[in-house]
Amino acid sequence: MKQLLIILFNFLIFPVAALAHGPTPQKAKESITIEAPADKVWNAVKQFGSIADWHDDIQKSEGDGKHESGGKRTLTFTDGEQLVDELDYYSDENREYSYRLNKENIKALPVSSYSIELQVAPGESDSSSIVTLKSRFYRGDTGNTPPEHLSDEAAVKAMTQYFKNGLASLKKVVEN
């Protein structure tokens, strides 16, 4: 009888929902040193709607020109897939902004949501800077058994590669 009460007690304390395992937030962070002053690098990235000017994965980007919470941009990747981002925070003074996925497309990036922060900081010398991209996101399929191409691993791999490609492209644009 005592064991039955313990089982019943545990069932009430730890509901069945606790046995399910939905997605957990994933993270990606990449940085690059660019041989150019922080102001020059910031000038290359500060126009939220103009990411196509410096990110090789983006064929076209169109923004509404707003540099404040709620500003939006539409990204068209080189394969034609599109995403819509929305600004959450923008600081010209601190050379940083953060944004989130407004309209998902798991064909463009295998994630169901993300928030991304971009920051340009002075480097070790006045003639260098460090650009950091970091993100928190969820896999493309938020069910308990996602297919491999929409798994946590696929999301981390895709976001990391997106960051690496963008930072390498930015370095090439600014240093040339």
pLDDT in tens, 35-67: 999 999 999 999 999 999 999 999 999 999 998
Could you tell me if 160 and 30 are in contact, meaning their C-beta atoms sit under 8 angstroms apart? yes
Q: How confident is the model at residue 12 (pLDDT cuts 50, 70, 90)?
A: low
Tell me the pTM.
0.86
Q: Distance between CA 174 and CA 153 in Å, rounded?
A: 32
For residue 10, pLDDT over 90 is answered with: no
Q: Domains of the chain by range and CATH?
A: 23-175 (3.30.530.20)
- Residues 6+ positions from 30 with CB-CB distance below 8 Å: 132, 133, 134, 160, 163, 164, 167
pLDDT at position 57 is 97
Could you tell me if 58 and 51 are in contact, meaning their C-beta atoms sit under 8 angstroms apart? yes
Q: How confident is the model at residue 5 (pLDDT cuts 50, 70, 90)?
A: low
